[in-house]
Structure 1
Amino acid sequence: MANFEIPLTSNPQTFTISLSGTEYRLTMQWRNADQGGWVLDIADTSANPIIQGIPLVTGVNLLEQYAYLGFTGVLWVQTTADPDAVPTFDNLGVGSHLYWYTE
Protein backbone atom coordinates (compact mmCIF):
# COMPACT_ATOMS: atom_id res chain seq x y z
CA MET A 1 0.00 0.00 0.00
CA ALA A 2 1.48 3.37 -1.02
CA ASN A 3 0.78 6.44 1.08
CA PHE A 4 1.75 10.02 1.55
CA GLU A 5 0.91 12.81 3.95
CA ILE A 6 -1.18 15.67 2.65
CA PRO A 7 0.66 18.77 3.89
CA LEU A 8 -1.53 20.88 6.16
CA THR A 9 -1.12 23.78 8.55
CA SER A 10 -3.28 24.64 11.52
CA ASN A 11 -5.06 27.38 9.60
CA PRO A 12 -8.16 27.30 7.42
CA GLN A 13 -6.87 26.69 3.90
CA THR A 14 -7.76 25.84 0.32
CA PHE A 15 -5.36 24.20 -2.11
CA THR A 16 -5.22 21.97 -5.18
CA ILE A 17 -3.64 18.52 -4.94
CA SER A 18 -3.27 15.47 -7.16
CA LEU A 19 -4.51 12.25 -5.54
CA SER A 20 -3.87 9.12 -7.61
CA GLY A 21 -3.63 11.20 -10.76
CA THR A 22 -6.82 13.22 -10.24
CA GLU A 23 -6.70 16.90 -9.33
CA TYR A 24 -8.88 18.00 -6.41
CA ARG A 25 -9.42 21.26 -4.58
CA LEU A 26 -9.39 20.67 -0.81
CA THR A 27 -10.71 23.16 1.71
CA MET A 28 -10.04 22.76 5.43
CA GLN A 29 -12.26 24.74 7.82
CA TRP A 30 -12.40 24.95 11.58
CA ARG A 31 -15.92 24.84 13.07
CA ASN A 32 -15.70 26.47 16.49
CA ALA A 33 -18.81 24.97 18.11
CA ASP A 34 -19.82 22.12 20.40
CA GLN A 35 -18.95 18.90 18.58
CA GLY A 36 -17.20 21.07 15.98
CA GLY A 37 -13.64 20.74 14.75
CA TRP A 38 -11.88 20.47 11.42
CA VAL A 39 -13.98 19.64 8.37
CA LEU A 40 -12.93 18.93 4.81
CA ASP A 41 -14.59 19.92 1.54
CA ILE A 42 -13.54 18.24 -1.70
CA ALA A 43 -14.20 19.90 -5.06
CA ASP A 44 -12.94 19.61 -8.61
CA THR A 45 -10.42 22.15 -9.88
CA SER A 46 -13.24 24.43 -11.04
CA ALA A 47 -14.51 24.57 -7.42
CA ASN A 48 -17.57 22.42 -8.16
CA PRO A 49 -18.38 20.61 -4.89
CA ILE A 50 -17.94 16.84 -4.77
CA ILE A 51 -18.25 16.31 -0.99
CA GLN A 52 -18.70 18.95 1.70
CA GLY A 53 -18.36 18.92 5.47
CA ILE A 54 -16.39 15.70 6.12
CA PRO A 55 -15.37 15.83 9.81
CA LEU A 56 -11.71 14.96 10.40
CA VAL A 57 -12.16 12.01 12.73
CA THR A 58 -9.53 9.38 13.40
CA GLY A 59 -9.55 5.64 12.83
CA VAL A 60 -11.77 5.49 9.75
CA ASN A 61 -11.53 5.95 5.99
CA LEU A 62 -13.08 9.40 5.54
CA LEU A 63 -14.14 8.44 2.00
CA GLU A 64 -15.61 5.00 2.71
CA GLN A 65 -19.23 6.14 2.52
CA TYR A 66 -18.46 7.95 -0.75
CA ALA A 67 -17.04 4.92 -2.62
CA TYR A 68 -19.74 5.35 -5.28
CA LEU A 69 -17.98 8.58 -6.35
CA GLY A 70 -15.02 6.58 -7.62
CA PHE A 71 -12.22 7.58 -5.25
CA THR A 72 -9.25 5.25 -5.70
CA GLY A 73 -7.70 5.72 -2.28
CA VAL A 74 -8.28 6.15 1.42
CA LEU A 75 -8.16 9.40 3.41
CA TRP A 76 -7.04 8.71 6.98
CA VAL A 77 -6.45 11.06 9.94
CA GLN A 78 -4.04 10.11 12.70
CA THR A 79 -2.50 11.98 15.61
CA THR A 80 1.12 11.25 16.47
CA ALA A 81 0.99 11.03 20.29
CA ASP A 82 -2.44 9.35 20.42
CA PRO A 83 -3.62 7.85 17.10
CA ASP A 84 -7.27 8.12 18.17
CA ALA A 85 -7.18 11.77 19.32
CA VAL A 86 -9.06 14.09 16.97
CA PRO A 87 -7.15 17.05 15.55
CA THR A 88 -7.31 20.26 17.54
CA PHE A 89 -7.22 23.76 16.11
CA ASP A 90 -3.52 24.09 16.96
CA ASN A 91 -2.14 20.67 16.02
CA LEU A 92 -3.43 20.05 12.48
CA GLY A 93 -0.41 19.34 10.29
CA VAL A 94 1.89 19.31 13.33
CA GLY A 95 0.66 16.51 15.61
CA SER A 96 -2.40 15.44 13.60
CA HIS A 97 -1.91 14.37 10.02
CA LEU A 98 -4.03 13.61 6.94
CA TYR A 99 -2.83 10.69 4.80
CA TRP A 100 -3.75 9.39 1.34
CA TYR A 101 -3.37 5.61 0.92
CA THR A 102 -3.62 3.61 -2.28
CA GLU A 103 -3.28 -0.10 -2.94
Structure 2
Amino acid sequence: MAIQEIPLTADNQEFSINIAGATYRISIIWRDVYWIMDLQNDRAEPVISGIPLVTGADLLAQYAHMNLGFKLVVVCDDSTQDYPTKTDLGGRSHLLVSTE
Protein backbone atom coordinates (compact mmCIF):
# COMPACT_ATOMS: atom_id res chain seq x y z
CA MET A 1 0.00 0.00 0.00
CA ALA A 2 1.32 3.45 -0.94
CA ILE A 3 0.13 6.67 0.71
CA GLN A 4 0.78 10.08 -0.82
CA GLU A 5 -0.45 13.59 -0.12
CA ILE A 6 -2.31 15.37 -2.89
CA PRO A 7 -0.95 18.92 -2.69
CA LEU A 8 -3.72 21.46 -2.15
CA THR A 9 -4.08 25.13 -1.34
CA ALA A 10 -6.74 26.98 0.62
CA ASP A 11 -8.40 28.17 -2.62
CA ASN A 12 -10.99 26.79 -4.99
CA GLN A 13 -9.04 24.59 -7.38
CA GLU A 14 -9.27 22.16 -10.26
CA PHE A 15 -6.51 19.87 -11.50
CA SER A 16 -5.75 16.54 -13.17
CA ILE A 17 -4.00 13.76 -11.30
CA ASN A 18 -2.98 10.19 -12.05
CA ILE A 19 -4.18 7.76 -9.37
CA ALA A 20 -3.90 3.97 -9.58
CA GLY A 21 -3.09 4.12 -13.29
CA ALA A 22 -6.01 6.35 -14.30
CA THR A 23 -6.25 10.09 -14.84
CA TYR A 24 -8.88 11.97 -12.84
CA ARG A 25 -9.95 15.59 -12.73
CA ILE A 26 -10.47 16.86 -9.17
CA SER A 27 -12.38 20.00 -8.35
CA ILE A 28 -12.40 21.36 -4.79
CA ILE A 29 -14.66 24.26 -3.84
CA TRP A 30 -15.34 26.06 -0.55
CA ARG A 31 -19.08 25.87 0.24
CA ASP A 32 -19.50 28.35 3.12
CA VAL A 33 -18.91 25.77 5.89
CA TYR A 34 -16.70 23.07 4.37
CA TRP A 35 -14.78 22.01 1.27
CA ILE A 36 -16.53 19.88 -1.37
CA MET A 37 -14.74 17.68 -3.90
CA ASP A 38 -15.93 16.45 -7.30
CA LEU A 39 -14.15 13.62 -9.09
CA GLN A 40 -14.32 13.29 -12.88
CA ASN A 41 -12.71 10.87 -15.30
CA ASP A 42 -10.26 11.97 -18.02
CA ARG A 43 -13.19 12.69 -20.37
CA ALA A 44 -14.62 15.22 -17.86
CA GLU A 45 -17.51 12.88 -17.05
CA PRO A 46 -18.62 12.87 -13.40
CA VAL A 47 -17.47 9.89 -11.36
CA ILE A 48 -18.53 11.14 -7.91
CA SER A 49 -19.89 14.59 -7.09
CA GLY A 50 -20.32 16.50 -3.84
CA ILE A 51 -17.89 14.70 -1.53
CA PRO A 52 -17.45 16.72 1.69
CA LEU A 53 -13.85 16.79 2.92
CA VAL A 54 -14.21 15.44 6.46
CA THR A 55 -11.61 13.73 8.62
CA GLY A 56 -11.53 10.23 10.01
CA ALA A 57 -12.87 8.05 7.20
CA ASP A 58 -12.26 6.93 3.64
CA LEU A 59 -14.15 9.53 1.60
CA LEU A 60 -14.83 6.88 -1.05
CA ALA A 61 -15.96 4.04 1.24
CA GLN A 62 -19.60 4.26 0.16
CA TYR A 63 -18.44 3.94 -3.46
CA ALA A 64 -16.47 0.71 -2.95
CA HIS A 65 -18.66 -1.01 -5.56
CA MET A 66 -17.04 1.23 -8.20
CA ASN A 67 -13.65 -0.48 -7.66
CA LEU A 68 -11.64 2.71 -8.15
CA GLY A 69 -8.53 1.09 -6.66
CA PHE A 70 -7.75 3.83 -4.14
CA LYS A 71 -8.93 5.52 -0.97
CA LEU A 72 -9.03 9.21 -0.11
CA VAL A 73 -8.61 10.37 3.49
CA VAL A 74 -8.43 13.84 5.03
CA VAL A 75 -6.21 14.34 8.07
CA CYS A 76 -5.75 17.51 10.11
CA ASP A 77 -2.72 18.40 12.21
CA ASP A 78 -5.16 19.21 15.05
CA SER A 79 -6.72 15.83 15.94
CA THR A 80 -9.85 17.54 17.35
CA GLN A 81 -10.65 19.14 14.00
CA ASP A 82 -13.49 17.46 12.06
CA TYR A 83 -12.80 19.08 8.70
CA PRO A 84 -10.38 21.50 7.03
CA THR A 85 -11.16 25.16 7.61
CA LYS A 86 -11.40 27.74 4.86
CA THR A 87 -7.80 28.81 5.44
CA ASP A 88 -5.90 25.63 6.41
CA LEU A 89 -6.55 23.27 3.50
CA GLY A 90 -3.18 22.07 2.24
CA GLY A 91 -1.37 23.63 5.20
CA ARG A 92 -2.64 22.09 8.43
CA SER A 93 -5.19 19.83 6.69
CA HIS A 94 -4.13 17.24 4.13
CA LEU A 95 -5.79 15.07 1.47
CA LEU A 96 -4.12 11.66 1.27
CA VAL A 97 -4.52 9.01 -1.40
CA SER A 98 -3.90 5.37 -0.57
CA THR A 99 -3.37 2.90 -3.40
CA GLU A 100 -2.84 -0.84 -3.19
Please indicate, yes or no, whether the TM-score normalized by the shorter chain is above 0.5: yes
Tell me the matched-pair count.
100
Structure 2 gap segments, 5+ residues each: none
Partner deviation per Cα, 1:26-85 (whole Å, 9 max, x = no partner) = 0001001xxx31010000122111110000010000001011112111100000132643
**Cross-structure match for 1:93:** 90
**Cross-structure match for 2:28:** 28
In 1, Cα distance between equivalents of 2:49 and 2:25: 11
Structure 1 gap segments, 5+ residues each: none
Q: Percent identity?
A: 43
Q: CA RMSD in A?
A: 1.2
- Give the TM-score of the pair, scaled to structure 2: 0.94
**Equivalent AA in structure 2 for residue 63 of structure 1:** L
Matches within 5 A, 1:1-103: 1-32=1-32, 36-82=33-79, 84-103=81-100
Q: Which runs of 4+ in 1 moved over 3 A?
A: none
- Give the TM-score of the pair, scaled to structure 1: 0.91
